[in-house]
Structure 1
């Protein structure tokens, strides 16, 4: 079979001064005479050079390999199969790998990379170009799908600042409106005896407060009436506010110390202490951190007593699960890693928690200064200072201690 090879963009010049025609037209006319199979048609790389009187070296080998020219392209950025944003990205050629994006430390931080966990990356100036994140972050890769104008970035889950379930960005926290609060409870009784005696008892519980901006004024009082005798007691009065960057509360007035390390005592003074309610529910209490390695984009399932308690999707590389809801005080967790190719990994993580145990990396603190307070008349009321600190070292060990003077 005879074949005709041509380029649609190539132009033939005849010997006459006006003899010019497009080869595509000639190919059309000859197709009936010399039919060719579709797979026999190819592009003549030197056709572009022949359109000029002077021979030029035009390298088209990049396109023959399916690669593209370096430059700036507007692409969709996807991180671990999750869409991030669309923007212009500069690409440079990398031998054997096509085009690589020009990134930097600041861009990686915007993607949620835990830069401080990688010393070499953390020491780089913010604007230094990074074309291969894998040089700093193990198992990190990038891939450009030119046809779809899509840049896929794969970074192991353990290298990212993952958001715990139920987390609300502190910038969205609201102090609420100014308000006056009153909560009360009243009960009483009147008893008559056969001898004509009458007994009356009344009890009132009053919890009131005022909210103004970030400040919270609270009072807890009780009133009793027993056979005509009346008494009123103010159990405590406090003025408090949030300290967001410390995830704690500042409090002044008549209150009680936390009872995590020492027994709780009533006092009149000032204290600052960590507040668990400022954490998402998935980070309160104790639960172990689960670590593992995925070979591909995988599904990680955590089971306890045959029930699924957690499931997530991770990128290739190491992963960490830090936001398990607190479960029973002890037991075995079964972890199942299902890879993209269908293979499955199983491993078991046993754990046991005592009341003072904290999650790995969690800090709990309290600092109180004031005067001991008691309801006993004539009892000593010494001044004192108290400080406690607890730190979750790992899944098996929590360090804690305190000072009381």
Structure 2
């Protein structure tokens, strides 16, 4: 008999059932649909075309969502919000002899985030251990074994929070304990054709971390090695730049940090210190109430290494291809002045400094945002003299749109006090103004005091598709010193470098025609040092020429001046798509009095691998060329590049970024999103090569059935799913999506219902030669329903492997155990006429 029509029909309904006649299958299908909305169903077995109408067990179909009493490990879904898997007891209430219900414990109900007046009206049963569902007509809870989920439906009016894609604190998961090692490596080799000398460099940074309960222990490291054939010297440097630990305090909406840290203030200039701090955490707020994360823009003449550091500590390092770049992956806690260093393939180096923006410091009406710190302020060099201090700052939402903020830093020899006002101007944006007074002792014969004034503005013009991300101005007296300037004078005796004026503007606009523009402007003047400037203008648009659609043009103009050294340039690029993700580009770059022209080809080998080759002329019309290849894999991101210019240089470069996470539940090598950041360990029960998706490209499970997905966000609901389009033929996933809300730095853990094995149409026989009753359930080792027995014991099974066992239930208990013989032979694809013995359970 040809069973293909049965398989196709079952696949269309996502039901792994049994080989039965068409009338029986359709009857069960409509019965299951009706039982979801009906309290009780009377099923007429005479309507079934069965030879043995006495051997039938359809009792569970008579009640909506009937689940055999017992304890199951299931996910809990509250409306559209998914809670972590947990043990759920199903029982039959005293008032009902046929309907089973899940036991919603006080601990579980707390995660529903009911309003306080609702909590006071809840009624409990079973000795106060289970919510009495019969008394709550507005709440519905039912189990679904096939989806392995308890579905709870609650009207939003009874809950505190109803923000999309954001979960309240009760749903946050601290994850499991584990160890992580995240790394970022960059290497470069350059040969000077004029002097025949060469240089080699290797640098890296990363984080070594340990998670225990809600605590995150971290050690940030950086290392470099440089070798020159001209001098023969090898310079090596390596250090742990920070040792610290932190944990969330959800009850306060705050984060506690101990160890080496930075002030990260919204009021005062940031500085390094060793001690402890507790601060309200913006990331714990709903997305629309969160703050600003810094970004870096710049331009690379060749394939180049870009290093971003804060007071000597590397916070970000990457390799970028030639052209303009924009780095938006910096942590939102980074603040203050950032040093940017661009090392080109031709050996040239450009450096400039960018100040991160502090958008107007506003708080919701009646709420208070705060930061409290205590410890010893230090420079990057730990051996230098420090200053014992205590600091605090706040922002209080006085009324709707008005915030009062300020703070103080009080230390041994240094103190500063600030007070400011923030105002939401509604359709005109948001603005804040504050003043800071500082007093420094012990660096001269008399106390030195001064003031600093700051004005900030931010506005999004929706009607014009434009946004002033930040606009700010700051003026400081000649005698004003921030903590870093005070420490520098205390340790080095340097009296130069105090800031005077600082201007900063970031603006972007998108025009109706599709043209977009981005402007970034930074200017800082000093009382006794040269002015620093940084300007960047980028304009891009798309157009069509004949049959060429969606071509694009990009114009970038940049200029930076630092220590009387000027770097400026103009970059013009045209890109023409060729289909399948491939394109040809034409580029002209004029920088510091010299120009280059190149033509390049960008191609994709597959969705994870891309490359670019280019050729053209450089300075003095000399030939030049380059190549860049990048691969995004399951265990990391890798790139290699090469370049040359006739009679000038030859170069090779590489970069690698990734991480390793190990826990008691398993571990894996993986790609990296944020050093030391949150990640989710996915367990597919030992099934390898399963593609799982987070916010980025698919990651495949290793030989142990583990994969770590790192592109998940802290305090935001993250969904990870199995990519069914890439699933191997012998693998099936019934629970294809898991959701989780992780706290910062957590290692989440989720087990997905994935099975690997053969598919077969089997016939079950009991010890006495009879068959299990029609409608009996087939359960796997995790007590999840995988099939329903049909007429004569026929059943459609997946994930079969020699030696495995499954339970068959009917009535109110486990009745027999089905064992697949160890010597069973399976063919490829779909197997038929497999006879399996089901031994009665005599317990």
TM-score band w.r.t. shorter chain: 0.3 to 0.5
TM-score by length of 1: 0.43
TM-score by length of 2: 0.21
Query: Higher Cα Rg: structure 1 or 2?
Result: 1
